[in-house]
Amino acid sequence: MKKTIQEQITGWEATRQAKQARMSEIMDSASESGETLDEAQTQEYDGLAEELKKIDAHLVRLKAQEEALKKSAKPVAGSTAAEASESRGGARVMITDQLPKGIEFARFAMCLATAKGNTSQAFEIAKARFPDQTRIHEVLKSAVAAGTTTDPAWAGSLVQYQQFAGDFVEFLRPQTIIGRFGQGGIPSLRRVPFNVMIKGQTSGAQGYWVGQGKPKPLTKFDTDTQALRWAKVANIAVITEELARFSSPSAEALVRDELARAIIQRLDIDFIDPAKAQVVDVSPASVTNGAQAVASSGTDAAAIETDVAVLFGYFIAANMNLAQGVWIMSATTALALTMIKNALGQRVYPEMNLTGGTFYGLPVIVSQYAALDGSPGNAIVVLVSASDIWLADDDQVVIDVSREASLEMSDTPTNSSASGSPEAPVATSLVSLWQTNSIGIKAERFINWARRRTTAVAYLTGVNWSGVSGSPA
């Protein structure tokens, strides 16, 4: 980035000071020894003196240029950074707040909520509350009028939304199991587009040694075709109008965190819960559904070694690449591993920590949802080959806001397909958002996954590692 005149002056003055200090140090050293400068000291001292002359001359030029710019400067108009930028003419300077991840998205949601979904009003609210948040202004302004093919900037505002919606996903991603893949040395999942037919291979061909003049055996390999259809995870968070109008950072963080928490929970549970089967055209099966399950053999270090050897043996027998292996376990299991010590009081697994680390040379992803119902002995530990899991993700979170609807305040609403089959209509009490001064914010994210190979995942059940001899509870 190009430095300003003042930054250049400051930099050269600091350089000059350092060189001057070195010259004084050389002379002080000679004075203490009572000798004149030797050849090396003389060359260094004379060289520094020559450099100081050049720096002084350059500083004179820079200061003269600075004075000339001051005389030609003109005052800017406007009371905000955005208005000042517009008044300059020519290139527009964008000045934005350095907000925590997801806060800009939360502000966007709160402006829509306060305006009761009216984008014109939301635009005016955003200008009043957040005058410097030009990206929010652009998105809300673009929602008022339809675009045309003759407008050269037709898609410009859409880029703004992708930027700060992507900012929300960036805040969300490290907190999810899926988001941890490809981060911090953890191998990435295999990314594929939605609704594209993927040719897969379920078995390999074989080669044979053939004697001279002998017939050559035939071989075959099996293939299949899969496609990751559109699938979405969604949730509705309800907040009061008073909270939406309270635009302090704490309120923004609350909205952001609540939107994230709902999506994190659903993604993490359904990604690893062995009971989660596929619901056609609704949701994918978990990566552990139908995978190889092995009962944990015990609680102490010897049993842990046995359990790990079984999973590694399964991967090796299936010709899986262990270099792509990743462990997924609960925080309770990770904590237990950090506390197991040998007879000398040394940690048996020094590379483990509460946020992950490595376990038997492979990276670890920690999620509370790997504990299933949270009871001792009902946790799972999953070994997954990251490159053998397909992932389709549009990396965007889309929101909608309303205060006019009536909602079932339930996580299992009537006729919900979340469980796999529609429920029979039930007389359920509805809550009016208008009557209760509440606002509903709906968040959706399109995402889907599937195992590339059936042998890509194996997991332990009934895990209750504690370092104590005995069987799992």
Per DSSP, the three-state class of 356 is strand
Split at pLDDT 50, 70, 90, the class of 473 is very low
Q: What percentage of residues in the chain have a pLDDT greater than 90? A: 15
Give 190's pLDDT tier (boundaries 50, 70, 90).
confident
Beta-bridge partners for 279 = 283
Residue 362 has pLDDT above 60, yes or no: yes
Q: Where on the phi/psi map is residue 398: left (φ > 0), alpha (ψ -120 to 50), or beta?
A: beta
Taking each helix axis from N to C end, the angle separating 249-272 and 103-114, rounded to the nearest 10 degrees, works out to: 110
**DSSP-based three-state secondary structure for 311:** helix
Tokens describing residue 149: 């093919």
State how far the Cα of 392 lies from the Cα of 361, in Å rounded to an integer. Answer: 28
pLDDT category at 424 given cuts 50, 70, 90 is very low
Interval 131-186: pLDDT, tens: 878 778 877 776 544 444 344 444 445 455 666 777 777 776 667 888 888 888 88
Cα 383 to Cα 26: distance, rounded to the nearest angstrom: 63
Instruction: Identify the CA nearest to 311 among candidates 202, 455, 114, 165.
Output: 455
CB distance 296 to 303 below 8 Å: yes
Helices (H) and strands (E) in the chain, counts: 12, 16
Can you tell me the distance from the alpha carbon of 60 to that of 175, in angstroms, rounded to the nearest whole number?
54
CB-side neighbour CA atoms (13 Å) of 13: 9
Q: Which of 85-89, 180-184, 227-231 has the lowest mean pLDDT?
A: 85-89
In this prediction, residue 421 has a pLDDT band, given cuts at 50, 70 and 90, of very low
State what percent of residues in the chain have pLDDT above 70.
77
pLDDT digits (tens, 9 = 90+) for 88-114: 554 444 444 567 777 777 788 878 777
- Bridge partners (DSSP) of residue 357 are 352
CB-CB contact of 256 with 222 (8 Å): no
User: For 450, phi and psi rounded to 5 degrees?
Assistant: -165, 155
Sequence-distant (6+) residues with CB within 8 A of 114 are 122, 125, 241, 244, 245
**What sections of 80-199 are H helices per DSSP?**
81-87, 103-114, 119-129, 134-142, 156-172, 177-180
